[in-house]
């Protein structure tokens, strides 16, 4: 499958998770009784997510400049598995810093913290490394070769996340309502842990 499709698919996967922002957007729309509050909140949600992803991508590219690609994949894989273990145990045990009266900056910070805590960027590493490698003719990671590819990867992922978040938030706010959460909110955290583990294993093996 095209790595770009995988990036977009992971964007949709992240976007569909209530903990990544669509639910917060719906809640803010309901609280302020304002459709525009919902749509406006999508911008910081996407931005916070993109910054979190970008930091991971930057770290990968930077590491790639100093270590061999194979070693890089191993290190990243071990890190992902460790993160999965951390998240399984401590995922929801953190300070709650942002509440329902938050402004757009607070919402952006919230989205950044949620994406980072969930390891959203780490999940993209197995796709980003080969993309960056293929961008340079010698099959090595170079800053000049990697930068545009990494930026494009972040753009594709965030675009898919934003589209999914907007779609789900819009449908729930306008038609579906929140009652379905009682039955329909399956434990995304378990799926995330499995996804992080699988991603880590892909990198190592």
Partner 1 sequence: MATWKPDPSFYPSPRMAAKAPIEKLAYVAAFDPDRKKPDAIAVVDVDPKSATYAEIVGQVEMPNTGDELHHFGWNACSSCLCPNAPHPHVERRYLVVPGLRSSRLHIIDTKPDPKNPKIVKVIEPEEIAEKAGYSRLHTIHCGPEGIYVNALGNGEGKAPGGIFLLDHDNFEVLGQWEMDRGPQKLAYDFWWHLGHDTMVTSEWGTPDTFENGLVPEVLLGSKYGRRIHFWDLHKRKHLQEIDLGEEHQLVFELRPAHDPTKAYGFVGCVISLKDLSASIWTWYRDGSKWAIKKVIEIPAEPADPDRLPPILKGFKAVPPLVTDIDLSMDDRFLYVSCWGTGDMIQYDVTDPFKPKETGRVRIGGIVSRATHPGARNGALNGGPQMVEVSRDGKRVYFTNSLYGAIDPQFYPEGIDGWMVKLDVGDNGGIDFDERFFVDWPKGHRPHQVRLEGGDCSSDSYCYP
CB closer to partner 1, 95 vs 205:
95
121 SS3 class = coil
CB closer to partner 1, 63 vs 88:
88
CB closer to partner 1, 1 vs 33:
33
Residues that bind partner 1 (CB under 8 A): 18-19, 23-24, 26-27, 30-31, 33, 91-93, 95-102, 110, 178-179, 181-183, 185-187, 189-190
32 SS3 class = coil
* Cβ neighbours around 180 below 10 Å, total: 10
As measured in angstroms, the least distance from the Cβ of 112 to partner 1 is: 13
As measured in angstroms, the least distance from the Cβ of 117 to partner 1 is: 11
Helix (H) or strand (E) holding 109: helix 104-118
Spatial neighbors of 50 by CB under 8 A, at least 6 apart, are 154, 157, 158
As measured in angstroms, the least distance from the Cβ of 82 to partner 1 is: 19
CB closer to partner 1, 88 vs 198:
88
CB closer to partner 1, 62 vs 90:
90
Name the nearest CA neighbour of 117 among 74, 166, 56, 158.
56
As measured in angstroms, the least distance from the Cβ of 171 to partner 1 is: 16
As measured in angstroms, the least distance from the Cβ of 8 to partner 1 is: 24
Structure tokens at 141: 């990671």
CA 94 – CA 9 distance, rounded (Å): 28
Q: At what angle do helices 143-171 and 3-16 cross, to 10 degrees?
A: 40
């Amino acid at each position: 499958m095209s790595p770009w499709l995988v990036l977009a698919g992971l964007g949709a996967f992240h976007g569909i998770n209530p903990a990544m922002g669509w639910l917060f957007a719906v809640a803010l729309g309901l609280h302020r009784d304002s459709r525009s509050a919902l749509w406006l909140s999508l911008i910081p949600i996407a931005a916070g997510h993109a910054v979190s992803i970008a930091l991971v991508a930057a770290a990968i590219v930077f590491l790639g400049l100093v270590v061999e690609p194979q070693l890089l994949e191993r290190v990243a894989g071990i890190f992902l598995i460790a993160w999965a273990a951390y998240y399984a145990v401590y995922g929801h045990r953190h300070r709650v810093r942002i509440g329902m009266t938050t402004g757009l900056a607070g919402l952006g910070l919230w989205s950044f913290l949620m994406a980072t805590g969930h390891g959203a960027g780490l999940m993209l590493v197995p796709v980003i490394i080969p993309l960056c490698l293929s961008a340079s003719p010698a099959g090595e990671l170079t800053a000049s070769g990697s930068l545009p590819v990494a930026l494009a990867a972040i753009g594709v992922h965030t675009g898919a996340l934003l589209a999914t978040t907007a779609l789900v938030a819009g449908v729930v706010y306008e038609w579906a309502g929140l009652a379905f959460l009682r039955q329909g909110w399956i434990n995304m955290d378990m799926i995330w842990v499995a996804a992080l583990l699988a991603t880590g294993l892909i990198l190592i093996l």
